Amino acid sequence: MLQKINHIGIAVQSLDETLPFYRDGLKMPLCGIEEVADQKVRVAMLGIGESKIELLEPTSPDSPIAKFLDKNGPGIHHIAYEVDDVAQAIEQMIAEGARMIDQVPRDGAHGTRIAFVHPKSSHGVLTELCQAGH
Ligand code: CO
């Protein structure tokens, strides 16, 4: 079902303040910056081999990322595993008894289709299933 780690999501207070470390310090290529209105975040994707780092900046105080930052400060927010077919992956997870935040796929950054597993079922690591965009 899983192909690889598609990306690791990291919550940041400010993309402008964080990007120089990844782009200039670590020399990771910036794949793009995009706003995901649904999640109230601005997202920067940086490439690392077959995977990516997804920097998440809240665009509103009621963004889920703003709430995460209030509680935990900046840091790793979630791990996204790549799947061929996210709808099928959701069905399999539910069949295995997992709780899903998303019972149906929704749009992620850069044309992906995604679904989050409920943290109660993923033992403290927020887990995203991610179908690559085309
Ligand atoms: Co993600």
pLDDT tens string 68-124: 999 999 999 999 999 999 999 999 999 999 999 999 999 988 889 999 999 899 998
Rounded CA separation 85/37 (Å): 24
pLDDT of residue 79: 97
Residue 121 CA to ligand 1 centre (angstroms): 18
* CB neighbours of residue 32 within 10 Å: 10
Query: pLDDT (tens digit, 9 = 90+) per residue, 4-25?
Result: 999 999 999 999 999 999 999 9
Residue 78 CA to ligand 1 centre (angstroms): 7
Residue 96 CA to ligand 1 centre (angstroms): 23
Instruction: Give the 3-state secondary structure of residue 33.
Output: strand
pLDDT of residue 134: 64
Query: pLDDT (tens digit, 9 = 90+) per residue, 20-79?
Result: 999 999 999 999 999 998 889 999 999 999 999 999 999 999 999 999 999 999 999 999
Residue 91 CA to ligand 1 centre (angstroms): 20
Residue 105 CA to ligand 1 centre (angstroms): 13
Give which of 82, 67, 122 is closest to 2, Cα–Cα. 82
State both tokens at 2: 């899983």
Residue 58 CA to ligand 1 centre (angstroms): 14
Q: Which amino acid is at 90?
A: I
Using CB atoms within 10 Å of the CB of residue 70, give its burial: 0 to 12 exposed, 13 to 18 middle, 19+ buried.
exposed
Residue 90 CA to ligand 1 centre (angstroms): 16
Is residue 86 within 8 A of residue 131, CB to CB? The reply is yes
Rounded CA separation 56/118 (Å): 19
